[in-house]
Structure 1
Amino acid sequence: MCQLQDIPKSLCPLVCKWTYSADGGWDESFWKKINLEDFVADNYCKIGTQVLSPGDPLGKGLTPEAAKELGLPAGIAVAASLIDAHAGGLGVIGADVKGYNLPCENQPITSRLAVICGTSSCHMGISPDPIFVPGIWGPYFSAMVPGLWLNEGGQSVTGKLIEHVVQGHAAYPELQAKASARFQSIYTYLNSHLDSIKKSLPVGFLTVDLHVWPDFHGNRSPLADLTLKGMVTGLRLSHNLDDLALLYLATVQAIALGTRHILETMEEAGHSISTLFLCGGLSKNPLFVQMHADITGLPVVLSQEVESVLVGAAILGACASGDFTSVREAMARMGKVGKVVFPKPEEKRFYDKKYKVFLKLVEHQKEYAAIMNEDI
């Protein structure tokens, strides 16, 4: 007897990770093609066919055993879940933006791109019809917002990359000591240090001759090339705190340039995006946020609640409990704008040039690889 047959599963991970179709179920030919036809046997009893949409209530709620372990009332509503990044997107992308002078205010929700940025970054774009975007995952129907198709771009280990660059620098011990003396995080100190050395220039202009390609761990989107490596051009024969601050700035800019690359690829395929909605750990860094606004040329909305994954989970719970009749209604009521960061138009030309260099870096890397792969 198959015990998995009656266990309900969330539509989100099945659609995004298991090739399940929200309107057609499992694809029998797929499982047979990859030699897992035993999954098809007995009406898919090994993987189950009971699928719930995120926010649907599960059974009779929290069991007495689970309630005791969690210190919650038995029977409290339990909702079908979302993948963590998708919950973050749900928690931030539907916020009511009236009165913030944003281009998306009088546009459909599909004009918004959610960027969930932490250890890695995920770029969630939605559309009423399926859009196939080269190098971008999806389209997935109802995988995040019910009734809409989802495309998911991503950058691997973005937060880890910044940490790697900073902590691997010779001046890191000095940075730690100075930040500790001020009772600041190392990133708050680095941001203030950049302000102290910029003189009359905008901070971003300090990297006019320092450029980074950020794919130290391969490219997830939009090139989908795991063989790519990181690149830095413009290093000097010094390793003081100024050098560390500049390399940190160039790395943050490179991540934002990668977001622009993903954004432009999505728009070329048919998305129309006018506003970014950022959440996650990296969105707590003002420099990271400002660089995303300046480099993409789009305003950035930050959620009132930084941990938007928790807001997304709460939205699902509120639907399961019956407090809201739909996920869309709960998104609009529970997602709150905390801050809006606008791009600085006077800096557009500089970042347009940085972006050209950014694309040249990967072009050159591929040329180097081709040369080295030539027959000797």
Structure 2
Amino acid sequence: MNTRSSSQERINYQLFMFNSIFVIMLYYSNHARAALVDCYGQVIKSSARNLQIWRPQADFYEQSSTDIWESCVNVIKDVIIGINPKEVKGIGFDATCSLVALDNNGNPLSVSQSKINQQNIIMWMDHRAQDEADFINKTGHEILKFVGGKVSLEMEIPKLMWLKKHLPSLWTKYGHFFDLPDFLTWKATGYESRSMCSLVCKWNYECLSSGSHGWNLNFLNQIGLDDLAENNFCKIGNKVLMPGEFCGGLLPNIADLLGLLPNTPVATSIIDAHAGGLGMIGTMGGEIEQDMSSRLSLICGTSTCHMAVNNKPIEVKGVWGPYFSAMVPNLWLNEAGQSASGMLLDHILSSHPAGSKLLQKLETGNLRMHLRKLLQGMAKSRRLSDVNFLTKDLHVWPDFHGNRSPIADPSLTGMIVGLKIDKSEENLALLYLATLQALAYGTRHIIEALVQAGYRPFKSMLICGGLAKDPLFIQIQADSVGIPILKPHEKESVLVGSAILGACASQYFNSVQSAIENMGGKADAIQPNKNIKSFHDKKFNVFLKMFHDQMQYRNMMC
């Protein structure tokens, strides 16, 4: 922390910090991050550490809960240096929806066929459970109506089925399964509670607006996981709390380890993308309508999640949900997304000959800036009014890691039309631009599915995450859909979302709704360029045709 030059400034700083909320979060799958966030939703200080990821074979992604927790401890210590522990009012956790496996004593137990206990997390992006997901979907069970008609292999129940089938010698030794956000609150407090957000969105746990909720034993019986019901579902959770609800205070030994006070309030957790949606949805952006159901939130990281809320349940084919109170209390959530967005762009950059060379001397952010300048120069030299016109004959279908929404087919693959024998930086820039456009058309495809199912046309989109740092990505999203985008002044909306929960657990605010209103902050509005809407309409039609062509190729090869 910088030393202030006057006593008045020091007093203001101390008062400012007195109102701060402490939040720890795991984000982007490969980073643990912590931050101090004040009661106005502003990030004061943050810290990040890299996490280890194993890829034992294609489409397998594993992590270590020990590595993640130790990294969390380190980043927490980083952000509280020089801070009076009394100023930390509450703690909120969020994390990726990954499956954590522990033994009966709470120690890591392997999810890997190598049986290395350190590798005890199946990550959200892991696609090993394809057969298990297919089996569940063929049952046609009524519970599938809450996941757009199909369970995803990214969810936890198919992964549990995979463990039981492929690691039978370990199955009876597993004592606890957690979603990663709930694992973090358990490590901090010792309480084995689960978040309604994680269970409803990723575990096929039922929650209705009537207040009725619970595990569906008929469903577990039908898919062969009825043994998880033993001892009142103790392995997968029998105490379920709402996000932001007090789930316990910091254990004395954990508080001592972190340098905080024992019993500091800890909030029931939330999934990282949902934290981003929560942190943005109350944002004020000029004259743009602030009705939550008129806004679509985009949380853009390794993947992109599209969050929409409504006061009534809307079933959307190929889109997860409707989930009651999973993000905003008393509102139904539909969750769509793209399995690879940031990860796809990184692949495009690193796999191109020019990109691999540029990455040796430029960081990813600087490389993208370099490409934007190249595109501007190319458009100017060709006397084009907008850079988007450069890709008239270059088209991308972006599902290199399957389609999450609205087609809900993880077996789909990527497609590129218009390739040339060209290793130049200009060629890389064009391919990068076409990929940005394809991701935007994916958003438009999702919006059309939501509206067709019953959502009112959206008036704006909110955006956060790593890709929100790219102005070209944001502008293309606005242009292709034809509605403005709100970019929060506070760039770390996911951190703010977790801070909102921490504020509620500490009772600084008496409800999540109140915290949203006070901590939402302001945003800049990026307006769509209506002059190129017809161009994007044509490319979107090509986009849809590419999917149908892929299906036709499959049928031809049967």
Using structure 2 for the length normalisation, give the TM-score. 0.63
Matched, 1:101 2:287: yes
* Match for residue 117 of structure 1 among 291, 300, 311: 300
Secondary structure of the 2:213 match is coil
Are 1:197 and 2:404 counterparts? Answer: no
Answering whether residue 236 of structure 2 is matched by residue 31 of structure 1, we say: no
- Closer, same or farther: CA 335–38 of 1 in aligned 2, 3 Å: same
Of 141, 146, 168, the match for 2:351: 168
Give how far 1:177 is off: 6.8
Contact 1:95–1:333 (CA under 8 A) maintained in structure 2: no
Q: Please point out which of 496, 499, 511 is paired with 1:314.
A: 499
- Residue 410 (structure 2) aligns with: 226
Greater mean alpha carbon deviation, residues 169-178 or residues 196-205? 169-178
CA distance in 2, matches of 1:213, 1:328: 39
Aligned to 2:74: none
Letter matched to residue 328 of structure 2: V
CA contact (8 A) 1:171 1:240 kept: yes
Structure 2 counterpart of 1:293? 478
8 Å CA contact 1:55–1:327 kept in 2: the answer is: yes
Question: How far off is 1:178 after superposition?
Answer: 7.5
Q: Could you tell me whether the CA contact under 8 Å between 1:96 and 1:333 is conserved in 2? A: no
Q: Deviations 1:25-48 (Å, cap 9, x if unpaired)?
A: 221211221222233344334433
What corresponds to 1:143 in structure 2?
326
**Matched residue type, 1:125:** A
* SS of structure 1 residue aligned to 2:270: coil
Q: Take 1:48 and 1:265, find their aligned partners in 2: how far apart are those partners?
A: 34
Provide the rounded CA distance (Å) in 1 between the counterparts of 2:493 and 2:394. Answer: 34
> Per-residue displacement from partner, 1:294-319 (whole Å, max 9, x unpaired)?
01111111122222111011000001
Q: Distance in 1 between matches of 2:435 and 2:365?
A: 21
SS in 2 for 1:58: strand
The structure-2 alpha-carbon separation of the partners of 1:245 and 1:70, relative to structure 1 and needing over 3 Å to count, comes to: same
Q: Establish whether residue 346 from structure 1 lines up as the match of residue 528 from structure 2.
A: no
Looking at structure 1, the residues matched to 430 and 237 of structure 2 have their Cα atoms a distance apart, in angstroms, of 53
In the alignment, which residue of structure 2 is the partner of 1:68? 256
In 1: Cα distance, 2:198 partner to 2:331 partner: 16
- Find 1:208's aligned residue among 392, 400, 421: 392
Residues in 2 aligned to 1:18 and 1:227: alpha-carbon distance in whole angstroms: 21
Q: Aligned residue for 2:192?
A: 7
SS of residue in 2 equivalent to 1:222 = coil
Deviates further, 349-358 or 48-57: 48-57
Q: Which residue of 2 aligns with 1:304?
A: 489
CA contact (8 A) 1:96 1:332 kept: no
Structure 1 segments unaligned to the other structure (5+ residues):
none
Q: Which residue type is aligned with residue 150 of structure 1?
A: L
SS of 1:171's equivalent in the other structure is helix
Which range is displaced more, 32-41 or 151-160?
32-41
CA distance in 1, matches of 2:329, 2:483: 26
Identity over aligned residues, as a percent?
49
Q: Distance in 1 between matches of 2:277 and 2:485?
A: 14
Aligned residue identity for 2:392: V
Larger relative strand fraction: 2
Instruction: Give the distance between the partners of 2:441 and 2:427, measured in 1 at CA.
Output: 21
**C-alpha contact 1:174 1:241 (8 A) present in aligned 2:** no
Partner of 2:268: 80
Partner SS state of residue 403, structure 2: coil
Among residues 258, 282, 285, which one is paired with 2:467 in the alignment?
Answer: 282
Match of 2:515 in 1: 330
AA partner of residue 261 (structure 2): P
Deviation track 1:51-71 (CA, whole Å, cap 9, x = no partner) reads 110011123x21211111112
Classify 1:176/1:322 alpha carbon distance in 2 versus 1 (closer, same or farther; 3 Å): same
1:21 matched to 2:186? no
Amino acid at match of 1:223: I
d(CA) in 1 for partners of 2:486 and 2:278? 14
List gaps (5 residues or longer) in structure 2. 1-103, 106-174, 177-190
Equivalent-residue separation in structure 2 for 1:220 and 1:247 (angstroms): 23
1:152 aligns to 2:354 (yes or no): no
**Alignment partners' CA distance in 2, 1:333 and 1:31:** 41
* Structure 1 contact 211–250 (Cα < 8 Å) conserved: yes
Correspondence for 1:268 among 452, 460, 463: 452
Residues 350 and 359 of structure 2 are in contact (CA less than 8 Å); yes or no, is this contact kept in structure 1? no
TM-superposed CA distance for 1:236, in Å, is 2.2
Task: Say whether 1:44 aligns with 2:210.
Answer: no
Cα distance between partner residues in 2 of 1:277 and 1:288: 13
Equivalent pair of 2:396/2:543 in contact (CA under 8 Å): yes
Q: What is the number of residues matched between the two proteins?
A: 365
Are the structure 2 counterparts of residues 129 and 184 from structure 1 closer, same or farther at C-alpha, using a change threshold of 3 Å? closer
Q: Deviation per CA, 1:312-334, whole angstroms, max 9, x where unpaired?
A: 11000001111111111111211
- Alignment pair present for 1:57 and 2:246: yes
> Residue type matched to 2:367 in 1?
I
Give the Cα–Cα distance (whole angstroms) in 2 for the partners of residues 47 and 278 of structure 1. Answer: 33
